[in-house]
């Protein structure tokens, strides 16, 4: 299993969203080349970052409702 340091782990959704936004902006700014591919890739990476951020937010909001110690007994 791969262990990621906590600061890097917490930064990942924002990093993904930033890269996705940069790819979308780059696709809008270039005149020639693979605009469609950059737009598609940027939208996918941006969406992945948003989904990861929302899943973490929801997990953290609901983890208090569950007794994690009940599995250890």
- pLDDT (0 to 100) of residue 63: 80
Nearest to 34 by CA among 23, 21, 44, 20: 23
What are the boundaries of each domain within the chain? 7-60
Residue 59 phi, psi dihedral angles, 5° rounding: -65, -45
Give start and end residues of each alpha helix (H) in the chain: 6-29, 35-62
Q: What pLDDT digit, counting tens, does each position of 18-56 carry?
A: 999 999 999 999 988 899 999 999 999 999 999 999 999
- pLDDT (0 to 100) of residue 64: 75
pLDDT above 60 for 72: no
| Residue 21 contacts residue 48 (beta carbons within 8 Å) | no
Q: Report pTM.
A: 0.78
């Amino acid at each position: 299993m791969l262990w990621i340091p906590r600061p890097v782990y917490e930064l990942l959704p924002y990093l993904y969203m930033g890269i996705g936004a940069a790819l979308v902006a780059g696709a809008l700014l270039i005149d020639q080349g693979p605009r469609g591919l950059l737009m598609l890739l940027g939208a996918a990476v941006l969406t992945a970052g948003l989904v990861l951020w929302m899943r973490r937010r929801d997990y953290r909001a609901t983890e208090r409702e569950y007794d994690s110690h009940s599995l250890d007994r």
